[in-house]
Amino acid sequence: MNKDYKFVDQAIEELLPKVKEAGLDTVWDRFKSMQPQCGFGELGICCRICWKGPCRIDPFGNGSQRGICGADAHTIVARNLIRGIAAGAAAHSDHGRHIALTLLEVAEGHAPAYCIKDEKKLMSVAARLGLSTEGKNVRQVAKEVALATLEDFSRQNSSIPCSWARQTMTAERAEKLTALGVMPHNIDAVVAGIMNRTHVGCDADPVNLLLGGLKGALADYTGMYLSTELSDVIFGTPEPVITTANLGVLKEDAVNIAVHGHNPLLSEIICDVAGSMDEEARQAGAKEGINIVGVCCTGNEVMARRGIPLATNYLSQEMAVLTGAVDAMVVDVQCIMPSLGVLQECYHTQLITTMATNKIPGAVHVEFTEKTALEDARRVVELAIEAYKRRDKNKINIPQYKETAIVGFSAEAVFAALSKLNKEDPLKPLLDNIVNGNIQGVALFAGCSTTRVAQDHNFVTIARELARHNVLLLATGCGAGAFAKLGLMTQEATEAYAGDSLKAVLTAVGEAAGLNGPLPLVLHMGSCVDNTRAVTVATALANKLGVDLDKLPVVASAPEAMSEKAVAIGTWAVTLGIPTHLGIIPQVTGSSLVTEVLTDKLKDLVGGYFIVETDPLRAAGKLYEVIRERRKALGI
């Protein structure tokens, strides 16, 4: 077991010795045995694109400076990077496509488990896409919205940009990105284009490749945006709700079902049917019936919409199984460790895969389809109840750590809270407080957790430091999970860590919104795909101020980034004009050219750029510095 780590999350600290007793490995043990990691890979200068390779460039300049085909370090690094962006875009947008196709099925009456929960949002989405709603019923509008959305996956005319990209950014930004040739017209075509141009013997110009990467990142943005908005249409737009987070949300006397992954299509229905199967759980001996908890972003989805407690975030997902109290771990897509299939051999936990493209050795597969969603969800709950009967009481060890978390801050929820201060012009109070300096700026925390840093530590350290400087904090994905687990989504955290002027604003809005106290220190905006909620707020602010996004005192931070999806998100944030911090060294430093473009040259091109800083306190300082710089340029 790796004890070189200091865990901010005491639940993990408490469970780790049990892992050793059981003779099991965790992600931290495997990380340790992987040391030293491949230096060529870390620098991004290993090329495995064709089978003449693998090739690697000597970073010290003594050995090979070109691969067998002649590609140099800059080409290799750029190709590797943009392939990662394409993978991230494919992941998010396939999720989005699934939601859009489900909306179409709902509209056509083929998905009985689903309905349109938020008609108001449907109408606003239709208006945004330029669709007329007059004289049409909800189903007709839903069908037109679904079909218009699917066009963003199929349009062949490359001079027409994706609607979900064009309609969701400032006009100035859209023009700039169109002029640069990086606006996507068709998400799938852009992803395929990246795979094509990075094939052996194709694009070798690193700058041209990187521009292709920006386009890929905007395809990712498009897929994420439509995914969030259409999920709200089907499942409801999040509103503030009080819940709890960390492993202490598991209950010894309940059938615990953990929903894990990203796509809410099945987990929502599991939540729907669980109530009606509670009695079966009690008959099996579970005095408290069924307890659904979340992991990773499926967890964030049901947490934000339904107040379902969050058990943990990405890196500590194994810990949930190691409590011995999770009866079923139900997974859909992305960020699911294959090690779960191994761990369940030592515990009674039933790992259940549900998507045809995401199977894991050792798991039971319950194939989910929209048409059979209700039966699939019931089957999952039945399997959990059966597993509960096999529980070994001696192996149960639930660390008693859980924190209150006020979550569910969709853009609509933020505007609604602000409207309590100014009904006619809800944005005005936020803008006024930014202009007068009570709020210095806004920071969005996104991205994963990784073995490369002590889990959750960077998130918490940077957030507290920025809050002290009166920066408004937003979070999604596993960053949001970290803050929820560690008590930063509470009113107490606002009292403890917010600077005086920020605290006054959060208190005024929170009290006006009926929270009997301030808003939480960090606003939970949802899962990874929901990063676009923050863009909705930022774009509204930019439009109101009459400037583009690259002028706003808005920054982003992915201090523990890990996945290809995070690479794509970071890149579109930068492309939209938002300076974005990375707390780990990205695998690009084997090319001075690529590194310089990402951290410097992009600033002239799009206004955003990457800030790489592994020390969290210094990172907070740099982010605050950017905010001050932008305020100064705006004359505020």
CB of 91 to ligand XCC, least distance (A): 8
| SS3 assignment, position 292 | strand
Nearest to 504 by CA among 518, 514, 524: 518
Contact yes or no for 481/244 (Cβ under 8 A): no
Tell me the C-alpha to C-alpha distance, in Å, between residue 551 and each of 144, 463, 548. 35, 22, 6
**38 assigned to a ligand binding site:** yes
Contact yes or no for 289/280 (Cβ under 8 A): no
Q: Round to whole Å and give the CA distance between 450 and 436.
A: 38
Helix or strand (DSSP H, E) at 473: strand 471-476
Residues 6+ apart with CB under 8 A from 37: none
**348 assigned to a ligand binding site:** no
- What is the Cβ-side half-sphere exposure of residue 314, based on CA atoms within 13 angstroms? 26
In the list 297, 506, 515, 626, the residue contacting ligand XCC (rule: CB under 6 A) is: 297
Nearest to 292 by CA among 357, 223, 345, 243: 243
**262 assigned to a ligand binding site:** yes
| Strands ordered across the beta sheet of 290-295 | 364-365, 350-353, 328-331, 255-261, 290-295, 310-312, 241-245, 403-407
The answer to whether 537 contacts ligand XCC (rule: CB under 6 A) is no
Q: Which is nearer to ligand XCC, 322 or 337 (CB)?
A: 337
Kindly tell me the burial class for residue 545, based on how many C-beta atoms sit within 10 Å of its own C-beta (0-12, 13-18, 19 or more).
Answer: middle
**202 assigned to a ligand binding site:** no
In the list 335, 337, 439, 474, the residue contacting ligand XCC (rule: CB under 6 A) is: 335
In the list 81, 217, 218, 296, the residue contacting ligand XCC (rule: CB under 6 A) is: 296
Q: Round to whole Å and give the CA distance between 129 and 167.
A: 7
CB of 258 to ligand XCC, least distance (A): 14
Alpha carbon of residue 11 to chain centroid = 23
138 to 177: interface string for ligand XCC, x by CB under 6 A: ----------------------------------------
Q: Round to whole Å and give the CA distance between 602 and 599.
A: 7
Q: Which stretch binds ligand XCC (CB under 6 A): 52-60, 223-231, 238-246, 560-568?
A: 560-568
CB of 324 to ligand XCC, least distance (A): 24
The answer to whether 223 contacts ligand XCC (rule: CB under 6 A) is no
Tell me the β-bridge partners of 524. Answer: 475
The answer to whether 448 contacts ligand XCC (rule: CB under 6 A) is yes
Q: Which is nearer to ligand XCC, 281 or 529 (CB)?
A: 529
| SS3 assignment, position 398 | coil
CB of 477 to ligand XCC, least distance (A): 3
CB of 557 to ligand XCC, least distance (A): 13
Q: Which is nearer to ligand XCC, 334 or 494 (CB)?
A: 334
| SS3 assignment, position 245 | strand
Please report, as residue ranges, which positions from 311 to 330 form the binding site for ligand XCC (by CB under 6 A): 314
Q: Which stretch binds ligand XCC (CB under 6 A): 104-112, 274-282, 302-310, 563-571?
A: 563-571
Q: Which is nearer to ligand XCC, 477 or 577 (CB)?
A: 477
Q: Which is nearer to ligand XCC, 442 or 448 (CB)?
A: 448
Alpha carbon of residue 37 to chain centroid = 26
Contact yes or no for 4/33 (Cβ under 8 A): no
Nearest to 368 by CA among 333, 407, 335: 333
The answer to whether 259 contacts ligand XCC (rule: CB under 6 A) is no
The answer to whether 447 contacts ligand XCC (rule: CB under 6 A) is yes
The answer to whether 245 contacts ligand XCC (rule: CB under 6 A) is no
CB of 313 to ligand XCC, least distance (A): 6
CB of 634 to ligand XCC, least distance (A): 31
**162 assigned to a ligand binding site:** no
CB of 11 to ligand XCC, least distance (A): 17
CB of 261 to ligand XCC, least distance (A): 8
In the list 46, 321, 528, 594, the residue contacting ligand XCC (rule: CB under 6 A) is: 528
**Single-letter code of the amino acid located at 350:** Q
Q: Which is nearer to ligand XCC, 448 or 626 (CB)?
A: 448
Provide the token pair at 452: 């490369």
**115 assigned to a ligand binding site:** no
Tell me the β-bridge partners of 293. Answer: 258
Beta strand 328-331 with 441-445 is unpaired
The answer to whether 182 contacts ligand XCC (rule: CB under 6 A) is no
Q: Which is nearer to ligand XCC, 383 or 562 (CB)?
A: 562
Q: Round to whole Å and give the CA distance between 355 and 107.
A: 23
Provide the token pair at 185: 């017209």
Q: Round to whole Å and give the CA distance between 235 and 242.
A: 18
The answer to whether 565 contacts ligand XCC (rule: CB under 6 A) is yes
The answer to whether 478 contacts ligand XCC (rule: CB under 6 A) is yes
- Residues near ligand XCC (CB under 6 A), total: 15
**346 assigned to a ligand binding site:** no
**469 assigned to a ligand binding site:** no
Q: Round to whole Å and give the CA distance between 514 and 425.
A: 19
**Single-letter code of the amino acid located at 48:** R
The answer to whether 563 contacts ligand XCC (rule: CB under 6 A) is yes
The answer to whether 333 contacts ligand XCC (rule: CB under 6 A) is no
Residue 528 DSSP class: G
Residues annotated within a binding site for [Ni-4Fe-4S] cluster = 262, 297, 335, 448, 478, 528
The residues that touch ligand XCC, with contacts defined as CB under 6 A, are: 262, 296-297, 314, 335, 447-448, 477-478, 527-528, 562-563, 565-566
Residues annotated within a binding site for [4Fe-4S] cluster = 38, 46-47, 50, 55, 69
Residues annotated within a binding site = 38, 46-47, 50, 55, 69, 262, 297, 335, 448, 478, 528
